[in-house]
Structure 1
Amino acid sequence: MTECKRAVAYVRVSSASQVEGYSLDAQERLFTELCKNRDWQSVRIYREEGKSAHVDSIHKRLVFRKLLEDAAKDEFDVVVVHTLDRWSRNLTVTLESLKILGRYGIGLVSIVENLDYSKPDGILFTQMLGAFAQYFSEALSTHVRKGLDQRAYEGKHNGCIPFGYESCWETNEKGEKKQRCEPEHQSGIHIHPKEGQAAEGLFRRYSAGTTTLSQLAAWLNEQGFRTRNTKNLPDANGNLVSGPRLFTSSSVRNILHNPFYAGQITHRGKLMPGAHEALISQELFDLVQLTLRKNSGRSETLKALPDREYLLKGLVRCAYCGMPMWAQTYKSGNSYYREHKASRSIQECPGHGGTIACHVIDKQVRELVSAIELGPRWLEEVLSIISLKDEVDRVKKERDLTITKLHRMARVFMDGLIPEEEYSRQKKLLELSLESLVVPDYDAAQKAGNLILNLPELWSKANLSEQRKILLTMLDAVYVDVKEHRSVIAVKAKPPFRPIFQVAVSKKESKIHILNEPLSHEPSGSSVFLVETGEGRTPRPEKVTQDLLQDYPSI
């Protein structure tokens, strides 16, 4: 009896293939007929439209990649394609994909070429192709290294082109390359008319010793220049994004350290003469390196106390851009929370460069902690917020019933009605059942509420380091306005404390008030709560409020 295989089809179409008559419908029809003739089970059809099989990476063909991922899940036994060029026209992709199929014992069948790798000998051949693919990959890596070495010996740059230069070739929207320069420069790159002047200006200005990296970053940003970032970097909300970014002191430092601008290239840790045109002289580059070394030490105005403790360390954030702020202690002994002007690459922030004394903000946070108060019915209010009252009641009844069973069984054992082995077995089962009878959200909120109830006593006995740990348990962030109101304007509660803050009230005599309505009106709520300070409840900055609402709608 013929084995009933589970078959899937991979059908792909581009504008060219439509003309050739390889429409998706036609490919699917032939796949259905093949399954019928061979008594195979048709499991799924993977359709990929508008993707060329010439692409040099599996990751660029999403449906193709999904098929290979499903191969590891034992969802099918054979893949059917109309022709092999529907599968791939790129040797690297072909070998890599066949290696994956061979690893999981999956065959490949081509209808037009009449190739059948679904039988045992065909699967073995596929696995052999996979082994060859590994050899090919290693050999290709060796050839790539040779190519990179040869480019370096010729003085040509490997990798992304640094700021201030551009390629002699440009790529249009269709992916076609067009030559910018006639003739092409020896290195394939040349100085960018505008960026080149700016990059040269960085070296010249810094060598004079009258400007800082922070000021140079601001100077570039004000002129509209942006970095050539191609990596995914976190923004203020922690999301990974790529693309041009604002210059920072760090990115300017990287430019000033790069010998490429003096006509050299770096390859495998060695400096080699470059074929490109130098932007600055070697003398100027050496002078800048000397200046960088002189300025690399810790500022004389700062105390060498790397382990100094701050109440809001890791919590304090700028209310405008949402990015973390730094804390520093100067030689005078005064400590400040600072928004570093040139350490951001996300956006221009109105609070850039702002500072505020640590003791001012710390005092407000301590007043906030002292002001939080829970009413006598706080647990019922929390239950109504997290909509778990019925579930809590059910779990409570089951826990009570399980505890009763434990007591009853203990009495039966004491009366000698069941043997010790059986008693131990049933007791363990009931105890395991008791451990599982919990409501995670409710239990977390109850523990958070109990901490708030005991907070005054804990806080009064805690030192600075312990108080910071308490805050880290309750909060994810404390937002500070260092520009206009110079105060705490909001706090972001950790998830278990979210419903606690919603039912909390401020003591009447308190100078600081937490507005327990979360910013978002969505059912899931928000973990960002506004704070008002001062005797007369200083009006909160509406602009900042809206920014917070936009950045943290539901966390």
Structure 2
Amino acid sequence: MTQTKYAAIYARVSTTEQADEGYSIDEQIRVLREYCKREGYIIFDEYVDRGISGKSIKGRPAIRQLLQDADEKKFDLVLVWKMNRLARNSVDLMNMVEVFNRKNIVFRSYTENYETETPAGKLQFQMLAAIAEYERNNIAENVKMGMLARAKEGKWNGGHVLGYDVVEIEGANKKRKNTGLVINEREASIIRKIFHLYTTGNGYKSIANQINKAGYRTKLGKTFSLNAIKTIVTNPIYAGYIRYNVRRDWNEKRRNHINPKPIIVKGEHQSIISEEVWRIAQEVYKTRTCKPNRVHDGEFPLTGIMRCPKCNAGMVIGRTTNKLKDGTKKVLEYYVCGAWKNKGTVACNSYAVRTDYADPYVLNKIEELMISDKLIQQLVNSINYKQESLIAPIQREYKQYVHDLAILEKKQSNLLDAYMEETISKSVYQMKVRGIEEQISSLNELLTPLKGQLGSTVSSKVTFEQIKNVLQNFQKAFQQSLTREQRKRLLHLLIHQITIDEERKIESIQLKLNNEVLEALQLGVGESSSDESSAPFSVLIAI
């Protein structure tokens, strides 16, 4: 009997515009389908990334799914229209093909005549991959040089900015759309108000509060954050300048590679504020940012895991300064709603909780659990009950699939008997058995993860000694932590979240116990490292 061969078709287009226009991707898929039919392959699936760059595999859901399915050997051939559809980066391309080779999966490019099974074919493939990457890098460099030249001429390089509309303007270059900035008067009024408030003594928080309450919104229709206000008052575009290349190598370095000398030139667009207002704003900015008031989160271990009772945002640190009767000042520290601190009262209320109340309260509660055998036993019972409730539906589903699989295998056997007895023709046999094989394959795919789950959960229940050992190890690690940041990480590992009530008192502390916690505390579960004692589990419990 001829073995059924399965193929995976992969296609990609590089930009959203190309995706909208098709970029002949449907035609590519049609031709690849015909190839599969001609060569006797059944198409397992078609993986398509529309409007996504081929620079890397990050952010490409179809290619990630393709690689996952390849790792599970779900097909025998990966077929693309052209090699650079799979990847433009030669390292990524060769790594992917190596994954295919390890699983005995053939890789083919429809328009390029080479194979990867022989030394000569591998050499040709590597040369083509290097050429594809060179072309991409060359194009990227040319685009970068062109954008730098445009910026130096005072031209806008694209992107939306509050206060302006981006419009297409006529230019000598017919191949590239030229864009420019035109003032949007409705949005420009917001910009002028922000600069007026800033230059007359208001801080970021005060400005955000005022303009959000007045109903003003960002370009995307969202409320203004403190960072959005800061970005506006430090952006020279509003004074009529073009600033470009602030962050070099953005794709690789992100925020850690600020250019100290970006391009700043007079732009072709009209300014929203005067030079004088801009100068005053920058003087205010310099006086306020000589030494930023940086909060060291390691000192406050509950930031992020304590949640606001109104909006569920993470609580962050806030400070107030009180003047005592003797004239001295006392700084008070609170956990406050992160949304309120970032966007003001339009987003939420502060719900301030004193740190000198919250920190010892949480630590004492955890310590009570660690020394209370009764509480630990309740925790063990909760974990085991959850395990039992989770495994029952999995067992039912597994039994149903096994039953269905037995029926299909019986049908397959009956078909073979019928063919051998010549009661059905070869073509009818092949057609019917192919359908059954596909169903069997689908059932096996469904059974595989269920087998893994059942195999890992049929082990012995979590015991009192095991959980007590976990908590003792946490306590030991916490006491031996040398820095506040280490203690904070341990608390965030063990605590899922802390809720507070409307009275600004701690309502519940939800602990999470799972395999990640055990591994971080260097435990199997308990002292044993056998497979039986490392059953995966996950439970939340409020204390």
Q: TM-score, structure 2 length as denominator?
A: 0.56
Shift of the 446–274 alpha-carbon distance from structure 1 to 2, 3 Å rule, reads same
Aligned pair 1:479/2:499, yes or no? yes
- SS of the residue corresponding to residue 9 of structure 2 reads strand
- Measured against aligned partners, the alpha-carbon deviations of 1:325-375 in whole angstroms (never above 9, x if no partner) come to 2153636224230426654369954323x4344445467557756876976
Measure the CA separation in 2 of the matches of 1:364 and 1:190.
57
Summarize the Cα distance change of 1:358–1:282 in structure 2 as closer, same or farther, 3 Å threshold. same
1:202, distance to aligned residue in structure 2 (A): 0.7
Distance 2:237 2:461 in 1: 61
Q: How does 1:94-113 map to 2 (within 5 A)?
A: 100=93, 104=98, 107-108=107-108, 110=110
* 128 and 168 in structure 1: CA distance in 2 versus 1, 3 angstrom threshold: same
Decide whether aligned partners of structure 1 residues 48 and 205 sit closer, same or farther in structure 2, where only a CA change above 3 A counts: same
Question: Superposition pairs for residues 243-322 of structure 1, below 5 Å?
Answer: 245-268=222-245, 269-296=262-289, 316-320=306-310, 321-322=312-313
Q: Determine the structure 2 residue equivalent to 1:446.
A: 468
> Is residue 11–residue 86 contact of structure 2 (8 Å, CA) maintained in 1?
no
Say if 1:67 and 1:346 are closer, same or farther in 2 by CA, change over 3 A: farther
Per-residue deviation, residues 99-122 of structure 1 (Å, max 9, x unmatched)? 826954754253xx7956467455
CA contact (8 A) 1:107 1:119 kept: no
Matches within 5 A, 1:422-501: 445-447=467-469, 475-481=495-501, 484-495=502-513
8 Å contact 2:54–2:88 — kept in the other structure? no
Q: Which ranges in structure 1 are unaligned for 5 or more consecutive residues? A: 36-41, 171-184, 229-242, 392-436, 498-522, 530-555
Structure 1 residues 162-177: aligned runs within 5 Å: 162-168=161-167
The Cα of 1:26 is off from its aligned counterpart by 8.8
Aligned equivalents of 1:122, 1:80: Cα separation in 2 = 16
Flag the 1:192–1:390 CA change in 2: closer, same or farther, 3 A.
closer
Instruction: Name the counterpart of 1:128.
Output: 127
- Aligned equivalent of 1:355: 352
Are the aligned partners of 2:315 and 2:335 in contact in 1 as well (CA < 8 Å)? no
Q: 1:198 to 1:527 in 2, by over 3 A?
A: farther
Match 2:36 to one of 27, 31, 34: 31
Contact 1:317 1:480 in 2 (8 A): yes
* CA distance in 1: counterparts of 2:209 and 2:365, whole angstroms: 36
Q: 1:198 aligns with which of 190, 199, 205?
A: 190
* Cα-Cα RMSD: 5.6
Structure 2 vs 1, CA of residues 288 and 377 (structure 1 numbering), >3 Å: closer, same or farther? closer
Shift of residue 256, structure 1, vs aligned partner: 0.6
2:212 matched to 1:215?
A: no
Distance 1:361-1:79 versus aligned 2 partners, 3 A rule: closer
Equivalent AA in structure 2 for residue 221 of structure 1: N
Letter of the structure 2 residue corresponding to residue 34 of structure 1: E
More helix per residue: 2
Find the aligned partners of 2:197 and 2:484 in 1 and give their Cα distance. 43
SS of alignment partner, residue 506 of structure 2: strand
Cα shift at 1:317: 4.0
1:57/1:103 Cα in 2 relative to 1: closer, same or farther (>3 Å)?
closer
Aligned length: 401
Secondary structure of the equivalent of 1:344? helix
Q: Is the 8 A contact 1:8 1:78 kept in 2?
A: yes
Residue 163 of structure 1 contacts residue 227 of structure 1 at CA under 8 Å; is this kept in 2?
A: yes
Q: CA deviation at 1:280?
A: 0.9
3-state DSSP of counterpart to 2:45: strand
5 Å matches for 1:530-541?
Answer: none
Share of identical aligned residues, percent? 20
Aligned pairs for 1:334-373 within 5 A: 334-339=331-336, 343-344=341-342, 349-352=347-350, 354-361=351-358, 365=362, 368=365
- How many Å separate the matches in 2 of 1:258 and 1:390? 55
Task: Map Cα deviations across residues 292-342 of structure 1 (whole Å, 9 max, x no partner).
Answer: 22233579xx9x997995685675443333312215363622423042665
Secondary structure at the aligned position of 2:159 is classed as coil
Q: Specify the code of the residue in structure 1 equivalent to 2:191.
A: A
8 Å contact kept, 1:11–1:45: no
Q: CA separation in 2, counterparts of 1:307 and 1:56? A: 38
Contact kept? 2:90, 2:133, Cα under 8 Å:
no
**What residue in structure 2 maps to residue 324 of structure 1?**
315
Offset at residue 75 of structure 1 (A)? 7.8
Structure 1: which amino acid aligns with 2:225? Answer: T
| Residue of structure 1 in register with 2:380 after alignment | 383
In structure 2, the residue corresponding to 1:491 is in which secondary structure?
strand
User: What is the CA–CA distance in structure 1 between the aligned matches of 2:109 and 2:284, rounded to whole Å?
Assistant: 66
8 Å contact from structure 2 (residues 9, 29) kept in 1: no
Residues 5 and 78 in structure 1, CA contact (< 8 A), matched pair in contact too: no
Q: Quickly say closer, same or farther: Cα 1:203–1:312, change in 2 above 3 A.
A: same
Letter in 2 for 1:319: P
Q: Give 1:492's aligned amino acid.
A: Q
Cα distance in 1 for residues equivalent to 2:224 and 2:466: 43
Change in 2 beyond 3 A, CA 1:361/1:313: same
Q: Structure 1 residues 139, 357: CA separation in 2 closer, same or farther (over 3 Å shift)?
A: closer
Task: Give the counterpart letter for 1:280 in structure 2.
Answer: I
Larger radius of gyration: 1
Change (3 A) 1:150 1:244: same
Asked if 2 retains the 8 angstrom alpha-carbon contact of 1:213 and 1:252, the reply is yes
